[in-house]
Amino acid sequence: MTNTPADEAPRWLDEEERHAWHGLMGVMRRLEHALDTHLRDEGLTHFEYGVMAALSESPQRELRMSALAAFAESSLSRLSQVVARLERKGYAQRRPDPADGRYTLAALTDEGYQKIVDVAPGHVAEVRRLVFDPLTKAQVKQLAHIGQRILHTIAGDGDRG
The answer to whether residue 114 sits within a structural domain is yes
Evaluate whether 117 touches 53 at the Cβ level (below 8 Å).
Answer: no
Q: Is the pLDDT of residue 4 over 70?
A: no
The answer as to whether 143 is a domain residue is no
Contact at 8 Å (CB) between 96 and 103?
Answer: yes
Domain housing 49 = 31-119
pLDDT one-digit tens code per residue, 64-83: 999 999 999 899 999 999 99
- The DSSP code for 129 is I
160 occurs within a structural domain: no
| Mean pLDDT for the chain overall | 92
* Residue 7 in domain: no
Residue 88 lies in a domain: yes
Domain count, the chain: 1
**pLDDT on residue 158:** 46
CA distance 70 to 54: 11
The domain spanning residue 82 has which CATH number?
1.10.10.10
